[in-house]
Amino acid sequence: MAKPFRSTRRGITGALEPGEARLLGALLGDVIALLEPETGPSEDPLAALVGMSGTDADAAAPDDSAVRRLLPDAVRDDDDEALSFRRLTERSLREQKIGALRSSALMIESSPMSLNDEQARYLAQALNDVRLVLADRLSIETEADAERLHEVADAKDVDDVDSYLALVYNFVTWLQESLVQAMLKASRLER
Amino acid sequence: MTVGFASGTDTLEEVATTESTDLDQPWVVVVWNDPVNLMSYVSFVFRSYFGYSEAKARTLMLEVHEQGRSAVVSGTREKVEQDTVALHAYGLWATFEKAGSE
């Protein structure tokens, strides 16, 4: 079992078991694949350069509910306004997220990990995105739904795909909580 | 929001905070509650991105958790747009709106 993250003089440290690192690496890869924009050859190079989505057609609210949660509307109750904002910002948001997910995939290959503040932040963001996608696949819509999943805490509780996903979700939740606690502790010591 | 069940180190402090979000500015960023984001993580984001004190970050986080939403920062339209995208990068569910439109 992974060791909880700790705040030390050498930064934030943590260690995953090889199987856990492989699993997490696959999950990070899945989220990257969800976020990678489908870039056509007709992409306007100037628009791409300034991080604007190329054409009107490719900036629609995502069909996949998990992607919609990763890239939510920035304006509520006004679809036109939300869409025009999405056209200006979505491409660069996707790229930022992919950047954090890719760096995290590299970080978790080392055991033990020793992370600086920026790396720890990227990893916390990436773990959060993984949890958002898993939660969507598990249809976690309310806090009661989330509570129910906590019961799946051990491999012996797993008897189908959903309970396996729940176990994975709980593991990533535990990992993120331990990382954030270590980061909060580190920031208290700095002040 | 949810609580990381393996933590046990999250100290509950009783804070009498007099800080409040300055709503004199015309636009606000609203953060919405969701069942996935960890309470500790949301506090961390408020501290590290906005530079809020631990007490203020916690107050705002609890407001999101208990009331379903909280206006966490205010400013010009340009600033709230930028902050909203930054919070999306962290995975928070954020929108911007005119102050007082709730």
Q: How do residues B46-78 score in pLDDT, each as one tens digit?
A: 999 999 999 999 999 999 999 999 999 999 999
Please report, rounded to a whole number, the percentage of residues in chain A having pLDDT higher than 90: 69
How far is C-alpha A15 from the geometric centre of its chain's CA atoms?
A: 19
Q: Where in the sequence is the domain holding B54, given as residue range(s)?
A: 37-98
Query: Which residues lie below 8 Å from residue B3, measured CB to CB, with a gap of 6+?
Result: B10, B38, B39, B40
- Per CB-CB distance under 8 Å, the chain A contacts of B97 are 75-76
Q: Closest residue of B to A101, CA-based?
A: B89
- Pick the closest to residue A16 from A104, A139, A93, A119 (CA basis): A104
Q: Please, are residues A161 and A13 in contact by the beta-carbon 8 Å criterion?
A: no
CA dihedral in degrees (A3, A7, A9, A12; nearest 10)? 70
What is the spatial distance between Cα B52 and Cα B43, in angstroms, rounded to a whole number?
A: 9
- Per CB-CB distance under 8 Å, the chain A contacts of B2 are 143, 146, 173
Confidence of residue A149 (pLDDT cuts 50, 70, 90): confident
Q: Closest residue of B to A179, CA-based?
A: B41
Asked, for residue B54, whether it belongs to a domain, the answer is yes
Asked, for residue B85, whether it belongs to a domain, the answer is yes
**A2 to chain B, closest Cα gap in Å:** 13
- Please give the structure tokens belonging to residue A36: 């990678």
Confidence of residue A140 (pLDDT cuts 50, 70, 90): very high
Residue B48 burial by Cβ neighbours in a 10 Å radius (0-12, 13-18, 19+): middle
**A114 to chain B, closest Cα gap in Å:** 20
Q: What is the mean pLDDT of residues A153-181?
A: 91
What is the spatial distance between Cα A178 and Cα A167, in angstroms, rounded to a whole number?
A: 17
Q: How do residues A71-86 score in pLDDT, each as one tens digit?
A: 999 999 999 999 999 9
- Break chain A into its structural domains and give their ranges: 11-190
Total domains present in chain B: 1
Q: If you search the block for the tokens 């007082």, which residue do you land on?
A: B100
How far is C-alpha A153 from the geometric centre of its chain's CA atoms?
A: 21
Asked, for residue B2, whether it belongs to a domain, the answer is no
Asked, for residue B8, whether it belongs to a domain, the answer is no
* CATH code, domain carrying B72: 3.30.1390.10
Asked, for residue B31, whether it belongs to a domain, the answer is no
Asked, for residue B46, whether it belongs to a domain, the answer is yes
